[in-house]
Amino acid sequence: MDAAQSDAADTADAADSGENTPAARRGDTRARIQHVALELFAEQGYERTSLREIAERLGVTKAALYYHFKSKEDIASSFTEDYFDRVDALIAWGRAQPPTRQTGHELFNRYIAIVIESSEVFRFLERNQASLHSSGDAHGGKQRFTQFRPRMNALVEIIAGPGAPPRSRIRATSALFSVSAACMLFMEDPAEAAAPPAAAAGLPWQPERDELRKIVLEIADDLTGDIG
């Protein structure tokens, strides 16, 4: 499939969804590039994966790939940028809601969904810290924390309420970190799932995604139930 065929496929997908616009088609192609890049990075490592290989697996030319990303570093940066965009949208939603316990519950529900759906990205960032740092990744660990902290504070303020006492803010923060860590630890690793039966037999039990989401949401509600 060449670039023209790829665009045609995107057009058909967008038409089926009722979003047959240039922006929708570009977004679909961008997402497919990110998905395929993550697959290759997981299979053979970030350093050993080239843009040419990503283009070949996608079935497009390198020129078509360059339209969206100029380098592997751009793809890696896009993972973090997209995650922060989703968190920013969640913060905007939360600030527009009344400061009630139900708002806090729904905010956790949506935040957990973001974390679970971003698990492959987090796994990639964790396993390739050295490679990303040496390649001049603009969103290295320290920079990511710098960007994450004000967003975490914003989520805490929505959950605990403006001007909340330290105890409430600490409980809200603990709940956010607890659900994040639990999702990261218990989300199934595709590499482990594909392991030979003998090796997989020794792996700890992993819950289904919906069950994991339900459990961590209950934990979040337990930790923040008396806030406010």
The one-digit pLDDT tens for each residue of the chain (228 residues) are 444 444 434 433 444 444 555 455 556 889 999 999 999 998 888 988 999 999 999 998 888 898 999 998 899 989 989 999 999 999 999 999 998 999 999 999 999 999 999 988 888 887 777 777 655 554 455 566 678 899 999 999 999 998 999 999 999 999 999 999 999 888 866 555 444 554 445 556 678 889 999 999 999 999 998 886
Domains detected in the chain: 3-66 (1.10.10.60), 72-224 (1.10.357)
Residues whose CB falls within 8 Å of the CB of residue 3, separated by 6 or more in sequence, listed in order: 60, 61, 63, 64
pTM for this prediction: 0.76
Contact 152, 85 (CB under 8 A): no
Q: Tokens representing 1?
A: 């499939």
